[in-house]
Structure 1
């Protein structure tokens, strides 16, 4: 049995969860700007209290490693590492896009069951750029790597010629602007935000396999270097 505390801060919101193996014991989520910087510690304390456990009962800390917001990832990973050092617990890291794909997995199975579907989680980057990857909808096998991609009318053209792709995440709106009329490009109506709920489920699999991170050396998966903006004078 494993008790895992999960942290997700890849985008403008943040969430925390506690799982016992694959059973969700507690979940707290906030989806508004800069919530990770001001509320993350409060959410962590809340899920521990709601679960009826204490910090010493936790077997591992899991965190969304990115890609995503530079600031959000830095806060989440720093918090996770601090808990690992303080509690002497191992660290697990989960790709944010993989966790997003997991969240849509059950939705995809309920529609277009006769089609071969691909899942494309997208996180907003700068301008017309997104962080994305492609996964098989039926088994979540990854078929294209995590990448930063500029979206235009030719994006995914070769794949869309023969297969349907479900696009989702806070970067999908950019894709819909240019590919929204393509017969094989599907867009979910509901907003899909990264959640500690899926981070915890994927982290449990990593826990069973002993796929722990080196706490001292671990860094977020920024994918791109941070570029600060200077206000115009």
Structure 2
């Protein structure tokens, strides 16, 4: 459930499934944007807002993004489903939050900070060191899901692809 090459994602998910099957431990799936949001808990600015927007650069002015709301227990719920879009389209979709205090996180937030700041007057950006995904933030996210009984066996883990592979896009173009 990470962003990366399609083959890499399938290999990673298959490895996790094998470990879960062999050890009979439960599996918890965390997408990259949620894991990144939990990294925002380490930011000096987290107390200014309960909204975090994770943005990962997908190259060529495209981004992966999602919006999360933090509760009093420092856990997150998704309020804007993860998506892959052009940065301009992503910002248009998030405009309804333009007057909200939002903590932006991720290499995409860093890359498009100027553009985001023009639309979101109360935008705050994490310190550079928090823009990268960490195992600690994924661990926090997984622990939250585990506490909420949001886990299962190896069959409950499936990759989350936010866009079609190049081969799928090419095939659709031929039709």
TM class, shorter-chain normalised? 0.7 to 0.9
Q: Deviations over 1:20-75 (max 9, x none)?
A: xxxxxxxxxxxxxxxxxxxxxxxxxxxxxxxxxxxxxxxxxxxxx23x11344223
Is 1:134–2:67 an aligned residue pair? Answer: yes
* TM-score, length basis structure 2: 0.73
1:101 equivalent in alignment to 2:101:
no
* Residue 69 to residue 163, structure 1, CA distance change in 2 (3 Å): same
Q: Which has the higher strand share?
A: 1
Say which SS state the counterpart of residue 30 (structure 2) adopts.
strand
- Taking structure 1 as the reference length, the TM-score comes to 0.57
1-structure distance, mates of 2:140, 2:116: 32
Query: Residues of 2 paired with 1:141 and 1:197: CA distance?
Result: 18
| 8 Å CA contact 2:68, 2:79 repeated in 1 | yes
> Does residue 5 of structure 2 align to residue 70 of structure 1?
yes
Specify the structure having the higher radius of gyration (Cα).
1
SS in 2 for 1:91: coil
CA distance in 1, matches of 2:112, 2:19: 38
The 5 Å alignment of 1:157-168 reads 157-160=95-98, 162-168=99-105
Identify the match of residue 193 of structure 1 among 132, 143, 151: 132
For structure 2, the 5+ residue unaligned runs are 171-175
1:37 aligned residue? none
Question: Mind listing any 5+ residue stretches in structure 1 that lack a counterpart?
Answer: 1-64
The 8 Å contact of residues 40 and 46 in structure 2, kept in 1 or not, is answered as: no
Per-residue deviation, residues 160-213 of structure 1 (Å, max 9, x unmatched): 2x1132222122244225234453233233142222222222322333444333
Alignment match of 1:82 (pick from 1, 8, 18): 18
CA distance in 1 between partners of 2:45 and 2:85 (Å) = 27
Larger RCO (alpha carbons 8 Å, 6+ apart): 2
Query: Retained in 2: the 8 A contact 1:70–1:222?
Result: no
8 Å Cα contact 1:84-1:215 kept in structure 2: yes
C-alpha distance in structure 2 between counterparts of 1:193 and 1:69, whole Å: 14
1:178 matched to which residue of 2?
115
Distance 1:82 1:134 in 2: 31
Q: Is the 8 A contact 1:97 1:133 kept in 2?
A: yes
Contact 2:45 2:124 in 1 (8 A): no
Aligned Cα RMSD in Å?
Answer: 3.0
